[in-house]
C-alpha cells in the first residue's frame, strides 16, 4: 500500500488538492508508483494527510482528467497511464505483473494494514506484540554499548552458526531452563521468525502438513504456506485435553510432518500448557515420530509463577526444535534469536542461512552476548516482569469496568496478551475499520484463526497505561455502537 510520508504546506498559495495531485503525478511520472497500481482509498489518504476527504476527491479528479488514473468498480482507483505511456511508443516494464509472480505469498491484508497504521502519529496500539518504548532499557543498553566499544576489534562475517561467544552465552542461559545444548547445537538467527523460515525451506517437502494450535501466531504469517505447505489447526481449550486427545488421529490422518506449539504464554491466548500436558504431548510426538517446533519467545515473561520447563528440557530423543529470541524481552529491533536442535539439523539450517544472509548482524550478536554474559539480561527481565504485572492489573481493572457485560476473558499469567471474547458476533473487518477511524489499532481474532469472529488480541505491553485505559474505553463504546 502506498504512503506519502508528506504533509501539505498549508501556507502555500497552491491549493492543497493541487499539491496532492502534483505530488502523486510526480510519483507516477518517475515510475515509483507504476501503471496498474492501486492508489490509497480517498478515506485512507485523507486520514494520512490530515485533510478533508473532498480535498483528496478533487486531487483524484484532476489526475483522472489528465488520463493518469481511473476509478474501477470493485478495484478502487488504479493508475492507468504515466506521462510516458501517454507520450512514448515503448511502455515501461509492467512491474505489477512481476509483483504478483513471486513465490512468496503476500501478508494478510489486515496485517499489511496494521503494519502501516502502527506508524500513524497518535494512534493507540491495543494489540501490538512488542514491549512499549517506555520499557526500553536505555541506560542498560548504553552501558552495554559503551563496554563493547573497547571489546570489538572487527565486525566481519561471523561463523555460519553465529558468534561463538553468543552461542556460549545462549547455551549457559538455556541451562537455567533445564535445556542442555552445546554451542554446536545452537544457530543464531535474525529473530525466531527466521528460524521458522529456515525450517520451512530447509527441512520440509512442499505439500507437507504442519499441525498447530488454533488460534495461533503461525496463522498470522505465511512462512510455511509460501513454501507450499498446509496448516492444520487443532482448537485449544484451557486444559488442552481435546487437543491432546485428537493429536494422534490427526497426525495419522494428515500424515503431518511437524507440530508447531507455543506452550508458554501462547500467542494470542496467553495460555500456559501444564507440566503434565507437556509430558503427554512429548510422549505422543515421540511415539508418532512427529517432530516439534517449540516456540518459547515469551517463556521468560511470567508474572505470577514461572511456567513449567520447556518441552526441550524433557526431550531425550532430539524430537524438539526449540526457538527463543531477545525480541520480546529486550528489543525486537536487535533481530536476535536462536534455534536449538540436533547438530545435523542445525548444520543444515546454518548452511541455508549462510546462503540467505551470511549471518545475522555482527553488531547485534556482540550486543546480545554482552547482555547475557554481564547479567544485565536477568536484572532487566525482572524489571519487565514487574512492569508487565502493573500493566496486566490495569488492563484487568479497565476490562472489568467497561467490558463486563459485552465480553469475557481469561486472566493471563504472563506474556503480553489477553484474548478478549466479545459476546456478540461482530464483523472483524467492520470493527477494525471503525476503531481505526477513532484512532485505535486492533489485532482482530481472525488474524490468528481465519474463522474467528468473536475475539480480539489485547496487548497490555505496548500502549502507555493512560492510552491503554482510554483505548479500551473507546473500544467498548465502539462495540456497543456496532452491536446496537
Ligand atoms: C509466538 C511468536 N513467535 C515468534 C515471533 C517472532 O519474533 P522475532 O522477533 O524473534 O522474530 C513472535 C512475534 O510476535 C511471536 O509472537
CATH number at residue 324: 3.40.640.10
Whether residues 245 and 360 fall in one domain:
yes
Per-residue pLDDT, averaged over 427-433, amounts to: 89
303 pLDDT exceeds 80?
Answer: yes
Considering the entire predicted model, what is its pTM? Answer: 0.88
DSSP string, 371-431: HHHTSHHHHHHHHHHHHHHHHHHHHHHHHHHHHTTTEE----SBSSEEEEEESS---HHHH
Whose alpha carbon is nearest atom 8 of ligand 1?
191
Whether residues 318 and 459 fall in one domain:
no
Task: Give the bridge partners for 211, in sequence order.
Answer: 232, 259
- Alpha carbons 377 and 369: distance in angstroms, whole number: 10
Per-residue pLDDT, averaged over 81-88, amounts to: 64
280 pLDDT exceeds 80?
Answer: yes
Count the Cβ atoms, other than its own, within 10 Å of residue 327.
Answer: 21
Q: Which atom of ligand 1 is nearest to the CA of 336?
A: 10
Cα–ligand 1 centroid distance for 192 (angstroms): 6
Last residue of a domain, one of 345, 374, 403: 374
Q: Report pLDDT digits (tens) over 339-367.
A: 999 999 999 999 999 999 999 999 999 99
Cα–ligand 1 centroid distance for 68 (angstroms): 42
Q: pLDDT class for 98, splitting at 50, 70, 90? A: confident
Whether residues 271 and 361 fall in one domain:
yes
We report the CATH number of the domain holding residue 37 as 1.10.10.10
What was the pLDDT predicted at 82?
A: 76
What was the pLDDT predicted at 369?
A: 98
Cell of residue 147, nine digits: 563496554
Whether residues 266 and 161 fall in one domain:
yes
Q: Report pLDDT digits (tens) over 310-333.
A: 999 999 999 999 999 999 999 999
58 pLDDT exceeds 90?
Answer: yes
Whether residues 394 and 360 fall in one domain:
no
Domain count, the chain: 3
Query: Which of 33-42, 46-55, 214-223, 386-395 has the lowest average pLDDT?
Result: 33-42
Whether residues 208 and 267 fall in one domain:
yes
87 pLDDT exceeds 60?
Answer: no
276 pLDDT exceeds 70?
Answer: yes
At what angle are helices 376-403 and 138-151 packed, to 10 degrees?
A: 160
- Alpha carbons 150 and 131: distance in angstroms, whole number: 29
Whether residues 153 and 129 fall in one domain:
no
Locate cell 483522472: which residue? 64
Task: Give the bridge partners for 124, in sequence order.
Answer: 440
- Residue 284 is assigned to a structural domain of this protein: yes
Whose alpha carbon is nearest atom 14 of ligand 1?
129
- Alpha carbons 329 and 381: distance in angstroms, whole number: 7
- Residue 116 is assigned to a structural domain of this protein: no
Whether residues 21 and 94 fall in one domain:
yes
User: For residue 44, what are the domain limits?
Assistant: 16-102
Whose alpha carbon is nearest atom 13 of ligand 1?
129
464 pLDDT exceeds 70?
Answer: yes
Whether residues 45 and 183 fall in one domain:
no
Q: pLDDT class for 91, splitting at 50, 70, 90? A: low
Whether residues 338 and 192 fall in one domain:
yes
Whether residues 259 and 199 fall in one domain:
yes
- Residue 7 is assigned to a structural domain of this protein: no
Pocket, ligand 1, Cβ cutoff 6 A: 129, 191-193, 217, 262, 267, 295, 297, 325, 327, 332, 337
We report the CATH number of the domain holding residue 426 as 3.90.1150.10
Last residue of a domain, one of 374, 389, 421: 374
Last residue of a domain, one of 333, 348, 374: 374
Whose alpha carbon is nearest atom 6 of ligand 1?
193
Amino acid at each position: 500500500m502506498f504512503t506519502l510520508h508528506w504533509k501539505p504546506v498549508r501556507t502555500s498559495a497552491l491549493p492543497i488538492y493541487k499539491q496532492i495531485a502534483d505530488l502523486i503525478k510526480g510519483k507516477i511520472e518517475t515510475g515509483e508508483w507504476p501503471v496498474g497500481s492501486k492508489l490509497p482509498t480517498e478515506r485512507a489518504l485523507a486520514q494520512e494527510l490530515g485533510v478533508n476527504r473532498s480535498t483528496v476527491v478533487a486531487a483524484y479528479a484532476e489526475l483522472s482528467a489528465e488520463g493518469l488514473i481511473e476509478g474501477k468498480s470493485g478495484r478502487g482507483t488504479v493508475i492507468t497511464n504515466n506521462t510516458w505511456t501517454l507520450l512514448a511508443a515503448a511502455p515501461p516494464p509492467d512491474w505489477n505483473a512481476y509483483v504478483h509472480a513471486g513465490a512468496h505469498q503476500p501478508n494478510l491484508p489486515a496485517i499489511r494494514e496494521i503494519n502501516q497504521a502502527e506508524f500513524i502519529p497518535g494512534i493507540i496500539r491495543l494489540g501490538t506484540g512488542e514491549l512499549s518504548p517506555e520499557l526500553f532499557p536505555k541506560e542498560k543498553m548504553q552501558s552495554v554499548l559503551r563496554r563493547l566499544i573497547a571489546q570489538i576489534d572487527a565486525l566481519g562475517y561471523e561463523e555460519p552458526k553465529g558468534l561463538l561467544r553468543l552461542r556460549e552465552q545462549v547455551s549457559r542461559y538455556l541451562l537455567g531452563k533445564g535445556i542442555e545444548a552445546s554451542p554446536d547445537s545452537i544457530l543464531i538467527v535474525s529473530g525466531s521468525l527466521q528460524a521458522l523460515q529456515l525450517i520451512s525451506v530447509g527441512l520440509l517437502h512442499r505439500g507437507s502438513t504442519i499441525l498447530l494450535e488454533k488460534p495461533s501466531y503461525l496463522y498470522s504469517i505465511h512462512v510455511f504456506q509460501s513454501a507450499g505447505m498446509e496448516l492444520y489447526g487443532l482448537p485449544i481449550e484451557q486444559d488442552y485435553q481435546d487437543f491432546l486427545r485428537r493429536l494422534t488421529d490427526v497426525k495419522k490422518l494428515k500424515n503431518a510432518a511437524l507440530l508447531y506449539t507455543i506452550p508458554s504464554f501462547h500467542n494470542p491466548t496467553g495460555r500456559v500448557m501444564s507440566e503434565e500436558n507437556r509430558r503427554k504431548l512429548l510422549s505422543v510426538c515421540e511415539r508418532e515420530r512427529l517432530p516439534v517446533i517449540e516456540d518459547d519467545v515469551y517463556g521468560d515473561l511470567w508474572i505470577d509463577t514461572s511456567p513449567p520447563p520447556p518441552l526441550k528440557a524433557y526431550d531425550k530423543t532430539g524430537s524438539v526444535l526449540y526457538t527463543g529470541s531477545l525480541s520480546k524481552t529486550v528489543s525486537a529491533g536487535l533481530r536476535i534469536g536462536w534455534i536449538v536442535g540436533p547438530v545435523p539439523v542445525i548444520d543444515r539450517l546454518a548452511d541455508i542461512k549462510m546462503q540467505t544472509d551470511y549471518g545475522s548482524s555482527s553488531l547485534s550478536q556482540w550486543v546480545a552476548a554482552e547482555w547475557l554474559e554481564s547479567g544485565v539480561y536477568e536484572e532487566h527481565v525482572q524489571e519487565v516482569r514487574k512492569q508487565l504485572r502493573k500493566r496486566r492489573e490495569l488492563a484487568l481493572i479497565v476490562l472489568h469496568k467497561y467490558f463486563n457485560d459485552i465480553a469475557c476473558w481469561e486472566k493471563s499469567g504472563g506474556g503480553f496478551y489477553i484474548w478478549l471474547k466479545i459476546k456478540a458476533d461482530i464483523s472483524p473487518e467492520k470493527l477494525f475499520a471503525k476503531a481505526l477511524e477513532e484512532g485505535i489499532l486492533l489485532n482482530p481474532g481472525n488474524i490468528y484463526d481465519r474463522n474467528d469472529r468473536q475475539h480480539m488480541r489485547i496487548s497490555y505491553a505496548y500502549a502507555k497505561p493512560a492510552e491503554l485505559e482510554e483505548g479500551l474505553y473507546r473500544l467498548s463504546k465502539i462495540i456497543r455502537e456496532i452491536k446496537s
